[in-house]
């Protein structure tokens, strides 16, 4: 499971597979000085980054749902091919119901067979020997599971970045409130 993440000297993860890393702000004044932003600009930038994270999260969650739906389908296909191979040579026919369309099923009687047809996508179906079909389906299953693991890791990284950004927004906002109170107290003290 390869990821393209890199670390900076401060230990902040800069990026993971195109997802920018969030910087935890220890000292708000230093952060504002280094970034050259005022409080409102910094808050606007952080809010925009948070929205970008939310968009990426929605895309990753959609990919995760697709993979989670795809894996059981591949496993079901592997089981069917294994059942066909087990019945091969026994002289016993396999009687099964299969889905023709959503909610519409048909019954089939399958005699000894050496091949199966697999949908590859884009309205393409190819005939494979049972052994080739098993190998292809197993490869697809392994790839889907590996992709799901990477997606889960990406989502965890993204959630960490969202949390860091939310904490940073709160720290900048609270720092600003504190600075206003200090200035207000100093103004009251001068008037007295």
Confidence band, pLDDT 50/70/90 cuts, at residue 94: confident
Position 18 scores a pLDDT of 84
Reported as a single tens digit per residue, the pLDDT across 35-83 is 999 999 999 999 999 999 999 999 999 999 999 999 999 999 999 999 9
Reported as a single tens digit per residue, the pLDDT across 10-28 is 445 578 888 889 988 999 9
Confidence band, pLDDT 50/70/90 cuts, at residue 92: confident
Position 78 scores a pLDDT of 96
Domains and CATH numbers, the chain: 26-88+129-183 (1.10.287)
Higher per-residue pLDDT: 149 or 191 = 149
Position 124 scores a pLDDT of 93
Position 1 scores a pLDDT of 39
Beta strands (DSSP E) in the chain are: 5-7, 13-16, 19-20, 94-101, 104-110, 115-121, 124-129
Exposed / middle / buried, residue 96 (Cβ in 10 Å: 0-12, 13-18, 19+)? middle
Position 13 scores a pLDDT of 55
Pair 97, 105: CB distance under 8 Å: yes
Using DSSP's 3-state secondary structure scheme, residue 6 falls into strand
Position 186 scores a pLDDT of 83
Q: Residue 132 pLDDT more than 90? A: yes
Question: Which residue blocks in 10-38 are alpha helix, DSSP H?
Answer: 28-35
DSSP 90: S
Position 93 scores a pLDDT of 85
Exposed / middle / buried, residue 115 (Cβ in 10 Å: 0-12, 13-18, 19+)? middle
Name the residue with tokens 């099964």.
Answer: 96
Q: Residue 142 pLDDT more than 90? A: yes
Confidence band, pLDDT 50/70/90 cuts, at residue 163: very high
Higher per-residue pLDDT: 7 or 162 = 162
* Mean pLDDT for the chain overall: 88
Q: Residue 145 pLDDT more than 60? A: yes
Picking from 86, 123, 116, the residue whose alpha carbon sits closest to that of residue 98 is: 116
Buried b (16+ CB within 10 A) or exposed e, 133-157: bbebbeebbeebeebbebbeebbeb
């Amino acid at each position: 499971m390869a990821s393209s993440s890199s670390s900076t000297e401060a230990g902040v993860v800069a990026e993971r597979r195109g997802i920018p890393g969030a910087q935890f702000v220890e000292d708000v004044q230093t952060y504002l000085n280094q970034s050259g932003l005022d409080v409102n600009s910094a808050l606007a930038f952080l809010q925009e980054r948070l929205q970008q994270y939310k968009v990426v999260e929605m895309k990753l969650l959609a990919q995760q749902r697709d993979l989670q739906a795809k894996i059981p389908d591949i496993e079901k296909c592997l089981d069917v091919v294994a059942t066909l191979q087990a019945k091969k040579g026994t002289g016993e026919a396999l009687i099964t119901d299969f889905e023709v369309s959503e909610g519409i099923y048909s019954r089939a009687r399958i005699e000894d067979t050496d091949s199966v047809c697999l949908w590859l996508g884009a309205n393409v179906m190819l005939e494979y020997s049972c052994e080739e079909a098993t190998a292809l389906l197993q490869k697809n299953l392994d790839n889907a599971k590996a992709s799901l693991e990477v997606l889960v890791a990406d989502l965890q990284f993204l959630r960490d970045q969202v949390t860091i950004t939310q904490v940073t927004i709160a720290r900048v906002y609270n720092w600003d409130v504190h600075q206003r109170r200090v200035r207000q107290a100093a103004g009251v003290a001068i008037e007295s």
